[in-house]
Structure 1
Amino acid sequence: MSLQRVTQSGSLFLDASGAQMTLRGVNLGGDSKVPYPDGGTQFPSDFADHREVSFIGRPFPLAEADEHLARIARWGFNTLRLLTTWEAVEHAGPGLYDDVYLDYFAEVARLAGEHGLYLFVDFHQDVWSRMTGGDGAPGWIFESVGLDFTAFASAEAAHVMQARYDYTSTEKRQATYPQMSWGSNYRLPANGVMWTLFWAGRWVTPDFTIDGENVQDFLQGHYLGAMDAVAQRLAHMPHVLGFDTLNEPGLGWLAQPLSYRHLAASAANPERPRIGPALAPLDALALARGCAVSVPVLTRQEDGSAAPTDERVFNPDRVSIWRDGTTCPFEAAGVYRLEGGAPVALREDAFTARNGRNVKLDDDVFAPFYARVAETIRRRQPAWSVFAEMDAFAHAAGRLFPRELPERVVNASHWYDVRTLYLKRFEPRDGLEATAARFRDELGGIASAADAFPGGAPTLIGEFGIPYDLAGGADYARWAAGQRDSLWPQHEAALDLMYDAIDALGLHSTQWNYTASNRNDLRIGDNWNQEDLSIFSADQIDDARHPDAGGRALGGFCRPYAPRVQGRTALVSFDRDSGRFELRFTADASIAGATVIYAPRVQYPDGWVVRFEGVPAEIVRDDARQRIALRALSSGEAVLTLERPPADPL
């Protein structure tokens, strides 16, 4: 299938004919964070093979590509947020790119276009790397800066499933590795060291060099080099929209006083604290050096927040995570020193001040990084957009995007309903209407950030979604017992409200996620840290010939919308109970082609009734593709509605 190039124009995405496009997609895939085939966190590992791993086969083997991409397109998605990682590209060593993987990734991207799917590339990371409890950076990076990742677990410098989980036990949920606990790594020493050097090595550790360049330039240079290697392979593909900057980056210790322990949100620091030890940067630096540190511990509360409930000593065995012969670069830079085995702060403002002024995360950290990403990818394809992310907690903490931005930047922020995500329940305490209003308010607040972008910008919610293991995976058990009707009621209700808000606000989106290797198993899920947010599971295929085989909660996300409008959209709404869909738009007959409506069988099993008024038009139904094409013959205000046909009288 040949797709017109879609480019950003102010706050809109337009195709080459000038039609307004709505990008509605899915992240592909959740297991692309880990090597293929046995790199998932359901397998024990010491990461000793980090230089030899392969990501060929993520998100799926090429022999399966058509099956999965056709299913995604059938479900109405027209866009992929296509995942890769820095490790996938450069795992073998500095500058050693995996050309076979790059060829594989480019072929997955090409095939996506054949199935009518646009895409943008997401260089994914979570809490820096697999060796620090997440994914992203290659293992040799730690060696380059002088860290020994094999010591992280014993020093309690990282919270890693493979180090805490008893793989011999039949218990799939274990107290030693609580659900959604991987995020606590952001506040632990290994993440603190790496993110601080990545963002601020030039001014915090100016004399720390690797191969003749400052550590910050070394780290960012290799990350962007991997991005450039992918960009070269995709530059000729018209359906590629651009690149994400970096998934949910951490901040290290930036903007934190050296001795400050974050125990609760405050006016000075409105960010929600995370579960785990409340380490001040000084505590973390001491722990990394091999000191035992006593600090408060925060645990998850019933409302999803974190609060201190205990205090304990960390790293009691006094294990250093610095390699033999390596000096801590922060100690060398005069940030602190050890006296009698205890840390002493020398520069309390080491991470909060720069050149005699307060650090500005937007201007000092993100603005120059966005500029480098834009420069990197646009050397290969000038038309590409930059899908910009700040850290995952930026919006909640009131942090804004930089004032200085490259041209054609998309607000690609993420949003999750925290209660559902962390508590694994969807129970609207204030009723569905109040929950719907809250979703609109939260998403609207995120979208409002784009108002300040020069020239305006679209908002594409790069991640949102729901865990499918709600209530301990109760729906898995019902499926295994043979139940096929009335599954996923909570999931469909939650997704319905989310897409209602997205429609009402006119947002673009890529749901998290589609994982081809997903299993209805509390230990496995998406193959990563027991998360399970995939809209597909191979364990739910009864009849492989059925086009919707493996789908989860289709009624919640498989819904009508207008991927292309011959003009400009004014209103989109859908009521799942009645099946009524409404599109209001200003038709522009000078734009070639038709307005396209996706009308899924999931919502219209007996077909649909189309009504159109406002201007003369030609309407073509394509039942097989679940599409309606409407070509306006003159310009003006127009309204299209879809409804389910009336039931046959008894």
Structure 2
Amino acid sequence: MPLPPVRRQGDLFVDAHGRQVTLRGVNLGGDCKVPYPNGGTNFPSDFADHRDVSFVGRPFPLAEADEHLGRLKHWGFNVVRLLTTWEAVEHSGPGLYDTDYLDFLAEVCRRAGEHGQYVFIDFHQDVWSRMTGGDGAPGWCFEAVGLDLTRFHAADAAHVMQRKFNYGDLSGRQAAYPQMSWGSNYRLPANGIMWSLFWGGRLFTPDFMIEGENVQAFLQNRYLGCLDQVARRIAHLPNVLGFDTLNEPGVGYFGEPLSYRHLGPSEINPARARPGAALSPLDALAMARGLTVEVPVLKRNLETSIAEPAGQRTMNPDGVSIWMTDCPFERAGAYAVEGGRAEPLREDFFQVAQGRPVNISDDGFGPLFHEVARVIRKHEPTWPIFAELDAFGAAAGRPFPTPMPENSVNASHWYDATTLFLKSFDPTNHYDFMTGAPERDPGAIRDRYVRQLAGRQSYREAFPGGAPSLIGEFGIPYDLDDGAAYKLFAQGRRDEAIWARHTAALGLMYDALDALGLHSTQWNYTASNRNDLRIGDGWNQEDLSIFSRDQQEDPADPDSGGRAIEGFCRPFAHAVQGRLTRVRFDRATRRLEIDYQADPTIAAATEIYVPKRQFPGGFSTRVEGAAADLDIAPDVQRVRITALDAGPVRVIIQGR
């Protein structure tokens, strides 16, 4: 049966019947960041073939689609945030679209609908591109602006696994490429330059033209052209919800004083400093220009979690320039080179433009959000945009731009940074990575999760007419404690106890989502994932996939291959005949309570997903309040309730 179309209505998602819908799903998938089949960071590469790659086969070959999508349906998920990248669509050159890939992506969307999955498209990026340590933009963008990507490593302009990692060393972690270090690229020259041009070319380098357009227009129009290509191929599919704006965008040097080095919270930047080289915009521009600079280095204090000064580092000691031409920021009057040093000419170069102060939210994000809405709505006028900010800005409370486009969704991201960066979780000895405050019991951790997620949810006030809040990313690393669970699995352990910490962490996260009534797409499901510290999701040793081929022993069992399934496979109301007021699930007692205000004028039943995984011995169902008919179908993990009267309804599902 076709999925009923879902639309945004104020702060809610509602289906064609008028039922309130809860969207609960996953990101599909982590390896969509890299080409198929051998483009993962576990393979060495110099990126010389960047124009000739293919992403057909990501997130999985079509021959595997029914298996993976069927598993997601079995686990109760009803939405996927489907990853693609600018590079996947336009890797060959400006305006040269990979039509085979576009047809493939459209077919994945169609197949998802057959398996009960709504889809929204995420044009993903991390630290700009694969060539600068992440994913996203095609390599020819560097050539277009005059940067030589083959010099990035020699100039310390990018921190890239394929250039840092010793692939002959089979031991796992390596000091030359520390775990979760890829984010340091945001401060390095290649990233800072590309994001500054992408968001602020018109403001900061107005005379920098490419093919008759300002550099900002050239880059953004190529990106928007890729959204247009995907939108035109999937506009006819009723299960497609809309498009993300751009995953966790970087901000470049927008809003920073030219010589400012961020060593800790300040009036200029109230966020906590991050470990690594504390480069100012001027430091980075000097390095790109071929100058050697000495900069402070910060190291995290593991007792307080605070990044503290730990000496100096010489950057670009060989004096390698990454420019094939002159530097457009130097040409525009930001700085000048005198006596082998970069001297600032305008300290406020990235703060004031065209005679006024500028900020990334209103001068950068806002115009692009409106353009994304315009481009996709040429093909389907009802599509919302799923809007998100930069990762660090969201944590620091950066505002959404004003005004936001009509029909927008707050798609902010959230992670427990302690678990994510340290790859460890102990519910009796945890701490808040952002403040260092200790947490000695699960209740304290859950309460913080609720507070932090409520902060993401509060952004909805910036949206005209309200907006649903969907946490577009959250999740945990599965290689906690250097892959301790993998070692036990390899030794023959199959009991759920090996995943106890993973399950506990996820359970607290979903408890918080339930408490706030948030929609969500967990990061992530990677079909090619491996229980290998060098590989994981196939990208920079991240390993957050809820599925791994290495754990799949019975292909006929949809649970086989799942990791810590009880942490994420939870009961919830897919659709409510009325308006939801409360959800609470206690995994320890196997008890689910759902409260809602029933509306019998809605001609479709409330549908609750009741997974066998949480209720292995069966369950009883009790309905209190308004009169209702009950349809229990444990074989398909579903309970339906048709309210006959208006008024409050409480559904209690109790495991036996």
Offset, 1:304: 4.4
Residue 534 of structure 2 corresponds to residue 533 of structure 1: no
For 2:580, the equivalent position in structure 1 comes to 569
For 2:411, the equivalent position in structure 1 comes to 412
> What's the C-alpha RMSD, in Å, of the aligned pairs?
0.9
Offset, 1:272: 2.5
Checking the alignment, whether the CA contact within 8 Å between 1:270 and 1:398 is kept in structure 2 is: no
Question: Counterpart of 2:230 in 1: which secondary structure?
Answer: helix
The CA distance in 2 between the partners of 1:391 and 1:112, in whole Å, is 28
For 1:224, the equivalent position in structure 2 comes to 224
* Bigger shift: residues 294-303 or 632-641: 294-303
* Paired amino acid for 2:464: P
TM-score normalised by the chain length of structure 1: 0.98
For 2:435, the equivalent position in structure 1 comes to none
* Bigger shift: residues 617-626 or 599-608: 617-626
List aligned pairs for 1:99-114, cutoff 5 A: 99-114=99-114
* Paired amino acid for 1:420: T
The CA distance in 2 between the partners of 1:415 and 1:266, in whole Å, is 23
Q: Deviations over 1:468-491 (max 9, x none)?
A: 010000000000000011121110
* Match for residue 467 of structure 1 among 477, 486, 489: 477
For 1:386, the equivalent position in structure 2 comes to 385
Residue 246 of structure 2 corresponds to residue 246 of structure 1: yes
* Paired amino acid for 2:362: D
Offset, 1:631: 1.0
Q: Deviations over 1:499-528 (max 9, x none)?
A: 000000000000000000000000000000
Offset, 1:181: 0.3
List aligned pairs for 1:342-361, cutoff 5 A: 342-361=341-360
Residue 466 of structure 2 corresponds to residue 456 of structure 1: yes
Checking the alignment, whether the CA contact within 8 Å between 2:296 and 2:313 is kept in structure 1 is: yes
Unaligned runs of 5+ in 2: 430-438
Residue 454 of structure 2 corresponds to residue 444 of structure 1: yes
For 1:648, the equivalent position in structure 2 comes to none
List aligned pairs for 1:246-325, cutoff 5 A: 246-302=246-302, 303-323=304-324
Checking the alignment, whether the CA contact within 8 Å between 2:254 and 2:359 is kept in structure 1 is: no
For 2:502, the equivalent position in structure 1 comes to 491
Offset, 1:452: 2.9
For 2:34, the equivalent position in structure 1 comes to 34
Residue 609 of structure 2 corresponds to residue 598 of structure 1: yes
Q: Deviations over 1:160-209 (max 9, x none)?
A: 00000000112210000000000000000000000000000001000000
The CA distance in 2 between the partners of 1:595 and 1:370, in whole Å, is 35
Cα distance change, pair 558–41 in 1 and its aligned pair in 2 (3 A): same
For 2:333, the equivalent position in structure 1 comes to 334
* Paired amino acid for 1:153: H
Offset, 1:305: 4.1
Question: Counterpart of 1:113 in 2: which secondary structure?
Answer: helix
For 1:168, the equivalent position in structure 2 comes to 168
Checking the alignment, whether the CA contact within 8 Å between 1:183 and 1:274 is kept in structure 2 is: no
For 2:17, the equivalent position in structure 1 comes to 17
* Bigger shift: residues 128-137 or 342-351: 342-351
* Paired amino acid for 1:248: E
List aligned pairs for 1:602-621, cutoff 5 A: 602-621=613-632
Checking the alignment, whether the CA contact within 8 Å between 1:232 and 1:380 is kept in structure 2 is: yes
The CA distance in 1 between the partners of 2:287 and 2:93, in whole Å, is 28
Checking the alignment, whether the CA contact within 8 Å between 2:385 and 2:409 is kept in structure 1 is: yes
Question: Counterpart of 2:631 in 1: which secondary structure?
Answer: strand
* Paired amino acid for 2:423: K
The CA distance in 2 between the partners of 1:407 and 1:416, in whole Å, is 28
The CA distance in 2 between the partners of 1:186 and 1:276, in whole Å, is 11
Checking the alignment, whether the CA contact within 8 Å between 2:514 and 2:583 is kept in structure 1 is: yes
Offset, 1:261: 0.5
For 1:147, the equivalent position in structure 2 comes to 147
* Bigger shift: residues 171-180 or 448-457: 448-457
Q: Deviations over 1:434-464 (max 9, x none)?
A: 1111000000111011123211111000000
Question: Counterpart of 1:153 in 2: which secondary structure?
Answer: coil
Offset, 1:283: 0.6
Checking the alignment, whether the CA contact within 8 Å between 2:425 and 2:501 is kept in structure 1 is: yes
Q: Deviations over 1:602-629 (max 9, x none)?
A: 1000111000011221211222220111
* Paired amino acid for 1:80: V
The CA distance in 1 between the partners of 2:415 and 2:564, in whole Å, is 17
Checking the alignment, whether the CA contact within 8 Å between 1:181 and 1:275 is kept in structure 2 is: no
Question: Counterpart of 2:49 in 1: which secondary structure?
Answer: coil
List aligned pairs for 1:368-383, cutoff 5 A: 368-383=367-382
For 2:46, the equivalent position in structure 1 comes to 46
Offset, 1:361: 2.1
Offset, 1:424: 0.8
The CA distance in 2 between the partners of 1:58 and 1:398, in whole Å, is 34
* Paired amino acid for 2:609: Y
* Paired amino acid for 1:83: L
The CA distance in 1 between the partners of 2:268 and 2:51, in whole Å, is 43
TM-score normalised by the chain length of structure 2: 0.97
The CA distance in 2 between the partners of 1:317 and 1:210, in whole Å, is 30
For 1:517, the equivalent position in structure 2 comes to 528
Question: Counterpart of 2:279 in 1: which secondary structure?
Answer: coil
Count of equivalent residues: 643
* Paired amino acid for 1:306: A
* Bigger shift: residues 268-277 or 454-463: 268-277
The CA distance in 2 between the partners of 1:566 and 1:88, in whole Å, is 41
Offset, 1:312: 1.4
* Paired amino acid for 2:553: D
* Match for residue 511 of structure 2 among 500, 508, 525: 500
* Paired amino acid for 1:548: D
The CA distance in 2 between the partners of 1:53 and 1:332, in whole Å, is 35
* Paired amino acid for 2:531: N
